[in-house]
Amino acid sequence: MDREDTVEFFCYGPGSEAEVVIEMIGKAPISATPAILHDFQLGVQGLGDIPDKLMPVPGHPGKMLPKTARGIMADSWPPDFETYVAFESPGSKIRGTVFKIRKADLPPIEDWELIDFGWYSVVKGIATLENGEEHEILTMAIKDQSIRREVDGMDYDNWLGKGDEFRREFLKHVRENYRRFAERNASGHGLESVTSITFPDTGEAEEQKGKKSRSL
């Protein structure tokens, strides 16, 4: 495979686990290597920290998306929702995993992270792999957003201490999000159709059936 067709992508938190990335892009990554991201700080956001500004439909600047990133998340998550985020911070470090993936597999990751809704951005960085090599990578980060608190990026729980049950539900919803992303692309429906998501809660699963699924 041509190197120009692949990219090395650094993931942290739940995304640092290969099983999550497999569900996110619908296939196994080419490789997965433990790594440390340099000059980024790990933090935690709550619902109130997520951007609440309507964004234009990609390719149609005169048309706005139907909901904000915060609105999408608030429709499905409880008030105490929290998620890991990363932001540029000289001297800081975050442990995670560098996945080599095909460039064609970036869109479902960007869809999951609500990039077009103004939450995350894809940025470049430098990561040291477990063999000591430094690689230029891509990762997801926030810019000019508030956070609840900073976290030690070298010593943290991938799942914010929420346990195995949440992890299982999370994986289900990542899988469902990829399925719906693929269906939306195949049908030609754009982001205008994305108005809500489902929270991994057994009591609301049937009630929320048919809505877009998304999580951390």
| Domains present along the chain, CATH in parentheses | 3-213 (3.10.490.10)
Please give the pLDDT value at position 210: 37
Other C-beta atoms lying within 10 Å of the C-beta of residue 126: 15
On the question of pLDDT at 204 being above 70, the answer is no
Which among 180, 140, 131 is positioned nearest to 13, based on CA atoms? Answer: 140
Question: Are 209 and 89 spatial neighbours (Cβ–Cβ below 8 Å)?
Answer: no
Q: What is the pLDDT of residues 129-155, one digit of tens each?
A: 999 999 999 999 999 999 999 999 999
Q: What is the pLDDT of residues 51-91, one digit of tens each?
A: 999 999 998 888 999 999 999 888 877 898 899 999 999 99
- Interacting residues of 110 by C-beta distance below 8 A, sequence separation 6+: 116, 122
Please give the pLDDT value at position 189: 59
Please give the pLDDT value at position 213: 37
Total-model pTM: 0.85
